[in-house]
Amino acid sequence: MIRHRLCLLLAVTLFLAACGAQPAAQPTTAPAAATAAPVAAATAAPVATTAPVAPTPVAQASGTCPAGQRLFDHALLTTDPVCIPQNPERVIALDMASVELTLLTNKTLVATSNWILGELPLLVPPFAERLRTVEDVGYPANLEKVTALKPDLILAAGGTEVGDAIDVDKARAIAPLIIADPVIYNDWKLGMQFWSDVLGVPDFYTAMEQNYRTRVGELQAALGDARNREISVLSTSTYGISLWMPDTPPGAILADVGMARPESQRLVGDAAQERYQAKQYIPISTERLDLADADAIFYFTYASTDAETATKERDSMTVFEQQPVWQSLSAVKAGQAFRVPEYWWRSQTYLLANKVIDDLFVHLTDAQATTPILQGQP
């Protein structure tokens, strides 16, 4: 029984809706990109504040679990408690953070979604070789393929609705299924801590967080008074422009560092909804790029392995950067608008969040982090 459903707030369809061989929808914290009518942009001035093979049924949790399994429950689990393997050996992971943690802890990842297989080698090149042997089960996951791979654990997170990544009722008959609340997309720490509890490696999460906090502290020291600078975050693509608010993955990282945000990007929840009729990812028109101005701007698009799509997005970015309204922004004039890599879009994982920290070092300080990022479980 599904305990609750939490919809991602701007996801009408997800941003790679028409990207060649990539799926029509993906679980993402990014603003929606639709092939139909686009989301209305904030143009007015802001107001005040085939059928699958029949699987062998899997016993559901009833308070006790078979030998070799344990009962898993969590505040961010969207289903009733589930009996899961104490030491999973064949994992299918359909969420970026769960894939990353499975690889970092040297557990066997047998399959994931095609969009992750396409993006992750671009975002984290050291994973490319290991992902060559990982099967593609599609998005949503093809249950015939899932059944044939005989997983002992399936991991996913809710997209626009719980179950977008895989048919929940049918998948739970194949193997123990964990569906995380999509709120984990808002902050890398939520997702990585959740998946570390699922995989039974909480100590590794503690080490990751301590490592991250150390690197954040180094950044704070390097910034000095520059921590008071206001930082704007936005994405731009052929699908439009969006401001990224504090309750988005890069927004959470900036908050950890203690960086200020411009007034237009300080709103969360109902306050954002009241002003912009949207939350988290605020679509704006080119004419309202003044809402993106700040002491420094970090802007980005998304990764694509489709050559045609990638070319189209690069061309779109060039056009964007030549817009007179963009060039009139004070940060752009001052040389403080920084185009950053696509991992900002997906910075809800430990490795990608640390890449964002590295970018802040590069663009805002004359220093670099001395503490290396953890590359796996000891």
Question: What are the backbone angles phi and psi of residue 212, rounded to the nearest 5°?
Answer: -60, -45
> How far is Cα 30 from Cα 301, in angstroms, rounded to an integer?
10
Using DSSP's 3-state secondary structure scheme, residue 338 falls into: strand
CA distance 352 to 126: 13
Beta strands in the chain (DSSP E): 69-72, 82-85, 91-93, 109-112, 135-136, 153-157, 177-180, 231-237, 240-244, 281-284, 296-300, 337-339
pLDDT of residue 46: 39
| d(C-alpha 8, C-alpha 30), whole Å | 9
Q: Which residue has the tokens 């009729």?
A: 277
Residue 19, pLDDT score:
35
- In the three-class reduction of DSSP (H, G, I as helix; E, B as strand; rest coil), residue 211 is classed as helix
d(CA 295, CA 232): 8
Q: Which residues, other chains included, contact 15 with Cβ-Cβ below 8 Å and sequence gap of 6+?
A: 26, 28, 30, 31, 32, 33, 237, 239, 302
d(CA 184, CA 192): 8
One DSSP character per residue, 65-89 reads: --TTEEEE--TTBSSS-EEEESS-S
Q: Is 180 helix (H, G, I), strand (E, B) or coil?
A: strand
Residue 124: partners with Cβ closer than 8 Å, 6 or more residues away: 100, 343, 351, 352
What pairs with residue 297 in β-bridges? 232, 337
Inter-residue contact 99 to 31 (CB < 8 Å): no
| Axis crossing angle, helix 188-199 with helix 350-364, rounded to the nearest 10 | 150
How far is residue 183's CA from residue 3's CA, in Å, rounded to a whole number?
A: 14
**Rounded CA separation 74/155 (Å):** 14
Q: How far apart are CA 248 and CA 356, in angstroms?
A: 13
pLDDT string in tens for the chain (378-residue length): 433 333 333 333 333 333 333 333 344 444 434 333 333 344 333 333 333 333 334 445 556 899 999 999 999 999 999 999 999 999 999 999 999 999 999 999 999 999 999 999 999 999 999 999 999 999 999 999 999 999 999 999 985 455 589 999 999 999 999 999 999 999 999 999 999 999 999 999 999 999 999 999 999 999 999 999 999 999 999 999 999 999 999 999 999 999 999 999 999 999 999 999 999 999 999 999 999 999 999 999 988 888 899 899 999 999 999 999 999 999 999 999 999 999 999 999 999 999 999 999 999 999 999 999 999 998
Secondary structure class of 312 (helix, strand, coil): helix
Q: Which of 144, 148, 150, 166 is nearest to 98 (CA)?
A: 166
- Write out the two tokens for 288: 């309202």
Write out the CATH class of domain 208-364: alpha beta
> Is the peptide bond prior to 140 cis by the omega test (within 30 degrees of 0)?
yes
Q: How far apart are CA 164 and CA 294, in angstroms?
A: 37
Interacting residues of 47 by C-beta distance below 8 A, sequence separation 6+: 274, 275
Are the C-beta atoms of 344 and 300 separated by less than 8 Å? yes
Question: Would you tell me how many other CB atoms lie within 10 Å of the CB of residue 125?
Answer: 9
Among the listed residues 230, 202, 189, 158, the one whose alpha carbon sits nearest the alpha carbon of residue 352:
189
